[in-house]
Amino acid sequence: MREDVVAGLSQRICDHMNSDHADAVAHLCMFHARLPRLPPWSAMESISATTMVLQYKSPEAEYDASSARLCTIHISFDPPLESSMDARKRLVAMSRESEEQNRNHYKQHSAEWNMQVILEKTDYFLTSPITVVMLVSLLAGSHRVMRMTNSPSTWNGMAMFHTAFKILAAICLVFYLCHLVQHISCAWANAAPVPANTAHWPSWLWTTLTRRTLPALTSETWKNQTVVITGGSNGLGASVAKLLLERGAKVISLDKSKPSFKHMNMSTYHCDVSKQHELTSVARSIISTHGSPTIVINNAGMRNGLPLLALPNDALRSTIETNTLAHFWILKEFLPHMVAEKKGHVVTISSLLGYTSVAQLTDYVASKHALVGLHESLRFELDTIYRTPYVRTTLVTTGQLDETNMFAGIQYNRLARFVAPSVQVGRVAKAIVDALEKQESRTIIIPWYVAAAPLLRVLPSFLHDGIQRALGANHSMSSLISKQRERTTSTS
């Protein structure tokens, strides 16, 4: 067994980092612990060839004395460090990457006013009952004044205000109609089967629109849920897993990477989900040990980011197998039990790129388009062939997640950051768990521009191309790949 030369220099390296590079340690803590800002205190405790241990005080400790306890994070080195020089190079590269990612995080969240925020605040204002009451009162008042006045100038002035109020009322009505259509769509997707007797249709319709078909999961019923998550070690999968564990569910993660956290109610299986034979063996082990899962979350994914002609065949095959075929293998292993029990939940994680396309992601885009088709076809089969409407299906399509490594470091122009901001992982994770908790089939679309993406297909080509060019979409991967090459060069 090779001697760990780095561990022998642990104290020396830690003292050097804590005294001369305290800012780098703080950035490492913020990035790897997913903190909202730099911690008020941080330090490197130890380092070995395989692991680095950091301690920090939570940013909330500045304002809340009860949260002043020290937190510890373990950062793994893969491959292991081979020498003190290798440790120096790796720490420099990791510090630079962490600082860059933290800077991007600040940019995303300091520029609070983007299109998503504007739409959310507008929706909140226009659908508020106070706004509606005020608008109706102003419309009635202006109409009454117009009827009572005899002065042409006063009448014209009030007519302008009355017209403005009517336009605002029309906009409010559009927002209300959108919410109504969304409610009806969700109710229909989760409705009980339509009764054969037409005399029962009115009561069925009323029940569908006003009540949940299935009861929401409680703290007791969550304990009976067994959840299988692919790619549950990091990123979105880990965030969802943590929320499920908080509710008392049993979580089983399938991943090639080491888990970023541990929990007494979580089991981790080292599995390459793109390999059918490997997945089949693990699935049988899960069923024999834990029983058949009641919830399956197909989350694992990867990307290459190369133009088609530069994409190696093995890389192309790996993307399709991991992002698409793995979903089929998972479903063929675990769906039969759900169909037999006539209940369960399947969550499919797709992407904005399941509806639109960009350059240098041909394999990734194709795989995500396939998942949208898989979700829709599966829903039709469950309803019409297997007659199991209570096996719920949820499709998740999001923009770029700002706390994962999938597209970390990608650069956007100012217009793209305003129109198409990234979304926080926690927000998506909460939406997924909410659908699971309420036992509802849903299409989770976050943020707003994901819903608009399918409309690009019906636009004239010159408008579609113009939007892509204005947002710099077809060149965003080039900046990311070049940065990755720079980091590789600096660490070699």
The predicted structure's pLDDT at residue 157:
66
The predicted structure's pLDDT at residue 60:
54
Whether the per-residue pLDDT at 156 is higher than 80: the answer is: no
The predicted structure's pLDDT at residue 108:
57
Phi, psi of 255 (to 5 degrees): -160, 155
Give the whole-angstrom CA distance, residue 377 versus residue 183: 22
Over the chain, what is the mean pLDDT? 85
Whether the per-residue pLDDT at 249 is higher than 90: the answer is: yes
The predicted structure's pLDDT at residue 98:
86
The predicted structure's pLDDT at residue 420:
87
Among the residue ranges 3-7, 189-193, 332-336, the one predicted with the least confidence is: 3-7
Whether the per-residue pLDDT at 485 is higher than 60: the answer is: no
The predicted structure's pLDDT at residue 80:
86
* Of 332, 430, 438, 439, the residue nearest 391 (C-alpha): 439
The predicted structure's pLDDT at residue 160:
78
> CA geometry: angle at 357 spanning 322 and 432, to 5°?
55
- Percentage of the chain beyond pLDDT 70 is 89
Q: What is the pTM of this model?
A: 0.76
Question: Tell me: the pLDDT tens digits for 126-139?
Answer: 888 888 888 788 77
Among the residue ranges 103-117, 127-141, 298-312, 343-357, the one predicted with the least confidence is: 103-117
Phi, psi of 38 (to 5 degrees): -65, 140
Cα Rg of the chain, angstroms: 27
**Element containing residue 316 per DSSP (H, E):** helix 313-320
More confidently predicted of 146 and 283: 283
Q: Coil, helix or strand for 27?
A: helix
Whether the per-residue pLDDT at 89 is higher than 80: the answer is: yes
Query: How many other CB atoms are there within 10 angstroms of residue 141's CB atom?
Result: 14
Question: Tell me: the pLDDT tens digits for 166-181?
Answer: 788 888 888 888 889 9
Whether the per-residue pLDDT at 22 is higher than 90: the answer is: no
294: Cβ contacts below 8 Å, ≥ 6 apart: 224, 225, 226, 227, 338, 343, 344, 345
The predicted structure's pLDDT at residue 411:
72
> CA geometry: angle at 111 spanning 128 and 477, to 5°?
115
Give the whole-angstrom CA distance, residue 88 versus residue 5: 13
In what side-by-side order are the strands of the sheet with 266-270?
A: 266-270, 250-255, 226-230, 295-298, 344-349, 391-398, 442-446
The predicted structure's pLDDT at residue 486:
45
Question: Tell me: the pLDDT tens digits for 195-235?
Answer: 989 999 999 999 998 888 999 999 899 999 999 999 998 88
Whether the per-residue pLDDT at 19 is higher than 90: the answer is: no
Question: Tell me: the pLDDT tens digits for 424-458?
Answer: 888 999 999 999 999 999 999 999 999 999 999 89
- Give long-range contacts, CB 8 A cutoff, 24+ apart: 374-380: 374/324, 374/327, 374/328, 374/348, 375/348, 375/350, 378/331, 378/346, 379/441
User: What mean pLDDT do residues 95-105 have?
Assistant: 80
**Element containing residue 74 per DSSP (H, E):** strand 70-76
The predicted structure's pLDDT at residue 329:
95
User: What mean pLDDT do residues 55-75 have?
Assistant: 65
Whether the per-residue pLDDT at 490 is higher than 50: the answer is: no
Whether the per-residue pLDDT at 64 is higher than 50: the answer is: no
The predicted structure's pLDDT at residue 289:
94
Question: Tell me: the pLDDT tens digits for 327-367?
Answer: 999 999 999 999 999 999 999 999 999 999 999 999 999 99
User: What mean pLDDT do residues 80-95 have?
Assistant: 86
User: How far is residue 56 from each of residues 70, 453, 454, measured CA to CA in Å?
Assistant: 6, 41, 44
> CA geometry: angle at 87 spanning 82 and 91, to 5°?
145
Whether the per-residue pLDDT at 314 is higher than 80: the answer is: yes
The predicted structure's pLDDT at residue 317:
94
